[in-house]
Every structure is written in C-alpha cells, then in structure tokens.
C-alpha cells in the first residue's frame, strides 16, 4: 500500500518570492519523515506542494511509480490519494465524528463504511464517539479524529501540518508517541511539518532541516544532533554554542577540550576554528582542576543548566545534576567530555 515519496529539485514560487528552492528528498515506504525548520522557512509550502495545493515552479514529485507534480502538471489533490492532518484540524463542524471520519470513504456500502469508521476510531482510541460532534471533544481528541479521518481512506501518503501546535505542551509529547504508534501500526508513509524538534525527534525516522527554502540536512534525529552538517543545523538542533578555538601542530585543543583527527586538521587548519560544544559535552566533576566561572544558571528540577565562562571569556553551557548548587560568580569544577569534535569554518 505505502509507496516511497521522491522529490527532485522542487522549487515553489509565490510571484517573485521563491519559498522552496531545489529541494530533493526521498522517503522510504512506511517511514515517517519530518520537515523541520524555523517559521517562514518554506516547510509548510513544501508540504502543500506535496499535497497538490501549490503548483511547482521547477522539479518534480512522485509517489511510487506515479509522477504527481511537475511544472506542467498538477494532479488534483482529490486524485492523489494523500491524507492530510491540518494545523487547526479542520474538522467539519456540521458533521458528527462518524460523518467526519467517513467523509473520504466512497464506494462502500453502509455496513462496510460503519465498520471502517469504528475500526479507525478504535485505532485512535476513541471508540464510541461516533455520534458526538467536533465541538464536544477536547483538543487532543479532535486531533485524533483528524488523524482517523485522514487515515480512513487508506492513503498512500499522510501529510501532517504542525499537527500538535494547537495543543498543550504536556499533551503534545504524549500524543506524539501515540501518533507514531498509530502510524506504524497502519504502516503508512507520513510526512510531518514541525518547528519543534522534540516533536520531530519523537515522531520521525528521518528529519529534514530546512533553512530559507533549502534543505540544510536530511538525516536521522541522532545524526542531526551529533553530526550537524553546518552551523545552522548545529545551532537549530539542540542547545549548545559554537566557540572559536585554536589547535597546536598535533591538533590538540587548549583546556583539554579534545584532539582533532588528522583529517580534520588538514581540512580546517590550526587556527580560528569553530567548535560545537553541547551542554552534555561538559560534565560536573568535583575533583577537576578545570574550574569555570558561573555566569548564570537556570534550575530545571531534574537538573541545572549553567552558563559558564571559559578562561578566554567565551560562554558555554553545562548540564549538571540538580544537587550541584553553585551560585553565579563562583567557580564550578568541570571536565570536558567531547566524544567527537564537530568543527566549522570560523565565522567571517
């Protein structure tokens, strides 16, 4: 049922403004992909192009063997067999839950239809809500109805536009886990648009970071965090700072931050390097001789997030257990624990 989705050099233009620039992407059948980026980066436009709501200026989109979009041809949305979950859910207020979920089911007899509707509601754990109306349900329940409705016709591809953004923070994470389970059980290929990396990481197999209309990097969540392809991805994904460092001839960095591999040394040179330091790269170590001045700190319950000053004044952050209680202005003993070094060309 599920088909791989393929985007080749897709561009989308609004008048003179190019919202999506030469995006290429492949998503395997049954996988969940995410388009992640700050607002206005073109991720929603790209999703709408896949849905068939926006024509392409260049490139092509195909689903399995079938080419569904290129600049000359736009298969109408209703003929694409894609399901879509909208940011505001877009439930039909004049139809019951059964009416909503059954809306896309055609060519079925009554019994078949009812069976499919209850199967879908069961899938999203909303059994017995058939005769309710959308406004009678909570936000989280409406979200699941929207999902059931989109999945009911058995789409080849499911598209979700910021599906959790109108929900409470707590509800969001819980639903993301549930939705992933539902999608995996249904075996559907899905693409989600998000600006929330937590949501993206929880839900997807593959994340595409988009910056100003272009693909910055497509990878697994793990690889994105640990091997960001450029400064943008490094700063957008996770926390951390890029500090400028110098290496000696052996590639050794000061303060025991680590040692460059020979390839890195030949690629980036010795001086003026940008090094990515994540909060979990710096560990509290009571006996360490490296003591950094605390600039500020934020208590988060399970842990402290410290902002520390390196001897040359550059700021880095450090995550410690919650009982490590050092006031601003005092010194915190730490140990650098960079498993591998992520380097960038120094900035301008």
Partner 1 sequence: MEIAVSREVSFRRLASGSYWRVALVATAAVLSVPVLVIVASLLQPYSSAWQHLADTVLGDYLTNSALLMLGVGVGTFLLGVSAAWLTAMCEFPGRRFFTWALLLPMAIPAYIIAYTYTGLLDFGGPVQSALRDTFGWGYGDYYFPEIRSLGGAICMLSLVLYPYVYLLVRVAFLEQSTAVLEASRSLGKTPWQTLFQVALPMARPAIVAGLSLALMETLADYGTVEYFGVSAFTTGIFRTWYGLGELGTAAQLSAVLLLFVFVLIVLERWSRRRMRFHHHAAQAEPSRIQLSGVRAALAFGLALTIFSFGFLLPAGQLSVWVVGSWQSGASENFLNLVVNSFALAAVAALACLALALLLGYGKRLHPGSVEQGAVRISSMGYAVPGTVIAVGVLIPFAWLDTAIDDLARQWFNVSTGLLLSGTLFALVFAYVVRFLSVSLQSVEAGLAKIRPSIDESARSLGRSPGGVLRDIHLPMLRGSLLTALLLVFVDVLKELPTTLILRPFNFNTLAVRTYELASDERLAEAALPALAIVAIGLLPVILLTRSITRETPTDEGTGVG
Kindly list the residues in this chain that would bind partner 1 in the complex (CB under 8 A): 51-53, 55, 70-74, 76-80, 82-84, 86-94, 103-104, 106, 134-135, 138-139, 142, 149-150, 153, 159, 166-167
Buried b (16+ CB within 10 A) or exposed e, 224-242: bbbebbeebbbebbbebbb
Which lies closer to partner 1 via its Cβ, residue 5 or residue 341?
5
Which lies closer to partner 1 via its Cβ, residue 30 or residue 104?
104
Minimum separation from the CB atom of position 87 to partner 1 (A) = 7
Which lies closer to partner 1 via its Cβ, residue 17 or residue 289?
17
Minimum separation from the CB atom of position 90 to partner 1 (A) = 4
Question: How many Å apart are CA 33 and CA 37, to the nearest integer?
Answer: 13
Minimum separation from the CB atom of position 183 to partner 1 (A) = 16
DSSP secondary-structure letter at 208? E
Number of Cβ atoms within 10 Å of the Cβ of 256:
14
What is the 3-state secondary structure of 24-83?
EEEECCCCEEEEECCCCCCHHHHHHHHHCCCCCCEEEEEECCEEEEECCEECCHHHCCEE
Question: How many Å apart are CA 218 and CA 33, to the nearest integer?
Answer: 9
Minimum separation from the CB atom of position 58 to partner 1 (A) = 12
Minimum separation from the CB atom of position 153 to partner 1 (A) = 6
Which lies closer to partner 1 via its Cβ, residue 164 or residue 304?
164
Which lies closer to partner 1 via its Cβ, residue 135 or residue 323?
135
Phi, psi of 344 (to 5 degrees): -135, 160
Which lies closer to partner 1 via its Cβ, residue 94 or residue 287?
94
Minimum separation from the CB atom of position 91 to partner 1 (A) = 7
Minimum separation from the CB atom of position 215 to partner 1 (A) = 24
Which lies closer to partner 1 via its Cβ, residue 86 or residue 344?
86
Q: Exposed/middle/buried for 216, CB within 10 Å: 0-12, 13-18, 19+?
A: buried
Which has the closest alpha carbon to 74: 89, 92, 60?
60
Q: Exposed/middle/buried for 39, CB within 10 Å: 0-12, 13-18, 19+?
A: exposed
Phi, psi of 289 (to 5 degrees): -85, -20
């Amino acid at each position: 049922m599920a088909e791989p989705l393929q985007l080749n050099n897709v561009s989308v233009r609004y008048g003179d403004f190019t919202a999506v620039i030469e995006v290429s992407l492949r998503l395997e059948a049954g996988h969940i992909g995410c388009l992640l980026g700050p607002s206005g980066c073109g991720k929603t436009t790209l999703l709408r192009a896949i849905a068939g709501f926006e024509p392409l200026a260049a490139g092509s989109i195909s689903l399995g063997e079938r080419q569904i979009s290129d600049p000359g041809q736009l298969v109408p949305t209703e003929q694409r067999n894609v399901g879509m979950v909208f940011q505001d859910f877009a439930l039909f207020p004049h139809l019951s839950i059964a009416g909503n979920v059954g809306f896309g089911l055609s060519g079925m007899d009554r019994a078949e239809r009812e069976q499919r509707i209850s199967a879908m509601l069961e899938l999203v754990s909303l059994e017995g809500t058939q005769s309710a109306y959308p406004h009678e349900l909570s936000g989280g329940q409406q979200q699941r109805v929207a999902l059931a409705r989109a999945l009911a016709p058995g789409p080849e591809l499911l598209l979700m536009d910021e599906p959790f953004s109108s929900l409470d923070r707590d509800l969001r994470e819980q639903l993301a886990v549930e939705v992933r389970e539902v999608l995996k059980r249904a075996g559907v290929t899905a693409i989600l648009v998000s600006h929330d990396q937590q949501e993206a990481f929880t839900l997807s197999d593959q994340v595409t970071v988009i910056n100003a209309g272009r693909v910055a990097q497509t990878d697994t969540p793990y690889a994105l965090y640990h091997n960001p392809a450029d400064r943008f991805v490094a700063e957008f994904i996770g926390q951390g700072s890029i500090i400028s460092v110098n290496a000696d001839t052996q590639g050794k960095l000061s303060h025991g931050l680590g040692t460059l591999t020979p390839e890195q040394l030949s690629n980036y040179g010795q001086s003026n390097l940008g090094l990515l330091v994540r909060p979990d790269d710096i560990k509290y170590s009571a006996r360490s001789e490296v003591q950094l001045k605390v600039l500020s700190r934020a208590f988060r319950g399970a842990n402290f997030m410290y902002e520390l000053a390196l001897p040359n004044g550059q700021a880095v952050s450090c995550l410690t257990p919650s009982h490590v209680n050092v006031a601003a202005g005092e010194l915190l003993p730490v140990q650098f624990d960079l498993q591998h070094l992520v380097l960038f060309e120094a900035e301008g």
